[in-house]
């Protein structure tokens, strides 16, 4: 399957929301056992998960377990194999060693790591490069990071994300690409602001992210649209690939009156890979 564009979180203790998530067009659903479930709700959330069983087709099912080295983490892992889980979302990951530790317990199930949620995590973003690893995606988060850093806000006075969180976001992008896994942009919390979400998702797509976390079903369609190449983008990419196919020995060519060389060809191929 191609990389999920939309990754929709749903609190695993809410059957009502789970029903809605399953009806959405999300490419991936993340059943959350961590921060959106209160400590008292975790046992029930695991029971709900066990009841999900299996199915054929549809979106990928992922489960966000609790962080390594917690009692809940251990209990969450006992769930694996019961419902039809495609992969694990690991919060508060700090380095590639955490992925190896998880894989040691779970085998080779795909892992999506949230990689910027602790202070130490910012220093580990180049450590995920391991060709044998089961890592499939990396995303970033500002909420837990700002709490960890003792910040009173993650934004500056104009409402823009402060430098520290922009840094985390860029390091996540570069770290994921360096590791050869999917870079996934973080959540847009203001779920009633569709225009704001679309602008943020498009900006992420321009920068190289190929998907985005969602927290509300209304965010799924705008995210899917932002990460799907449009007709003009596809036509332009095809023109570049065709031009190089026609002249395989060429290093540089003109397409549509502009210079294109190897980086443009790589970029064009990447666009065509994302066409659905
Ligand atoms: N998945 C599935 N269904 C969801 C949903 C989600 N993530 N978020 C909201 N819904 C449902 C609601 O239950 C509601 O259903 P109803 O019409 O049958 O009552 C409908 O969509 C509309 O929801 P709305 O009233 O707009 O929002 P809300 O106030 O009920 O919920 C949140 C707001 C933020 C609590 C909710 O979106 C949520 O739980 N999001 C996920 C949070 C999460 O998992 N966080 C962890 C990652 S950061
Ligand atoms: Mg969190």
Burial of residue 227, with CB atoms counted within 10 A of its CB: 0-12 exposed, 13-18 middle, 19 or more buried:
buried
Give the residue, by CA position, lying nearest to ligand 1 atom 28. 216
Q: What is the pLDDT of residue 53?
A: 81
* Domains of the chain listed by start with CATH number: 6-226 (3.20.20.60), 231-273 (no CATH)
> Could you report the per-residue pLDDT of 140-174, keeping only the tens digit for each?
999 999 999 999 999 999 999 999 999 999 999 99
Among 184, 185, 193, 216, which residue has the most ligand 1 atoms within 8 Å of its CB, making it the best to mutate? 216
Nearest atom in ligand 1 to the alpha carbon of residue 9 is: 44
Res. 191: pLDDT tops 70:
yes
Q: What is the pLDDT of residue 64?
A: 98
Between strands 6-11 and 28-32, the pairing is parallel
Res. 83: pLDDT tops 90:
no
> Could you report the per-residue pLDDT of 204-229, keeping only the tens digit for each?
999 999 999 999 999 999 999 999 99
Residues of the chain with pLDDT > 70, as a percent, come to: 100
Place of tokens 């006992």: 78
Give the residue, by CA position, lying nearest to ligand 1 atom 42. 215
Burial of residue 20, with CB atoms counted within 10 A of its CB: 0-12 exposed, 13-18 middle, 19 or more buried:
middle
Task: Specify which residues 184 forms β-bridges with.
Answer: 139, 211
Among 8, 13, 20, 189, which residue has the most ligand 1 atoms within 8 Å of its CB, making it the best to mutate? 20
Q: Identify the residues whose C-beta falls under 6 Å from ligand 1.
A: 8-11, 16-17, 20-21, 32, 35-36, 187, 191, 215-217
Ligand nearest to the CA of 118: 2
Q: 276 pLDDT band (50/70/90 cuts)?
A: confident
Q: CB-based contacts of 28: which residues, under 8 Å, 6+ apart? A: 4, 6, 7, 8, 59, 60, 61, 62, 86, 211
Nearest atom in ligand 1 to the alpha carbon of residue 18 is: 2
Ligand nearest to the CA of 36: 1
Ligand nearest to the CA of 7: 1
Q: What is the pLDDT of residue 82?
A: 78
């Amino acid at each position: 399957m191609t990389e999920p564009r939309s990754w929709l979180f749903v609190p695993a203790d809410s059957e009502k929301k789970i029903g809605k998530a399953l009806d959405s067009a999300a490419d991936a659903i993340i059943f959350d056992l961590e921060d959106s479930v209160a400590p008292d709700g975790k046992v029930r959330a695991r029971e709900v998960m066990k009841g999900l069983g299996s199915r054929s087709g549809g979106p990928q099912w992922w489960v966000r377990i609790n962080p390594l080295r917690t009692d809940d983490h251990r209990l969450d892992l006992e769930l694996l194999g019961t419902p039809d889980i495609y992969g694990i979302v690991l919060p508060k990951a700090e380095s590639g060693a955490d992925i190896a530790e998880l894989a040691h317990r779970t085998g080779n199930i795909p892992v999506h790591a949230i990689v910027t949620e602790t202070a130490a995590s910012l220093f580990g973003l180049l450590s995920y490069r391991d060709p044998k690893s089961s890592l499939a995606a990396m995303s970033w988060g500002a909420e837990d990071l700002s709490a960890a850093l003792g910040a009173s806000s993650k934004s500056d006075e104009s409402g823009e994300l402060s430098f520290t969180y922009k840094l985390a976001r860029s390091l996540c992008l570069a770290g994921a690409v360096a590791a050869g896994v999917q870079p996934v942009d973080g959540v847009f919390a203001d779920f009633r602001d569709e225009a704001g979400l679309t602008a943020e998702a498009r900006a992420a797509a321009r920068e190289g992210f190929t998907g985005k976390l969602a927290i509300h079903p209304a965010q799924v369609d705008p995210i899917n649209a932002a990460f799907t190449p449009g007709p003009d983008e596809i036509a332009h990419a095809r023109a570049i690939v065709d031009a190089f196919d026609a002249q395989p020995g060429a290093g540089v060519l003109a397409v549509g009156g502009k210079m294109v060389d190897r980086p443009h060809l790589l970029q064009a191929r990447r666009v065509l890979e994302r066409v659905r």
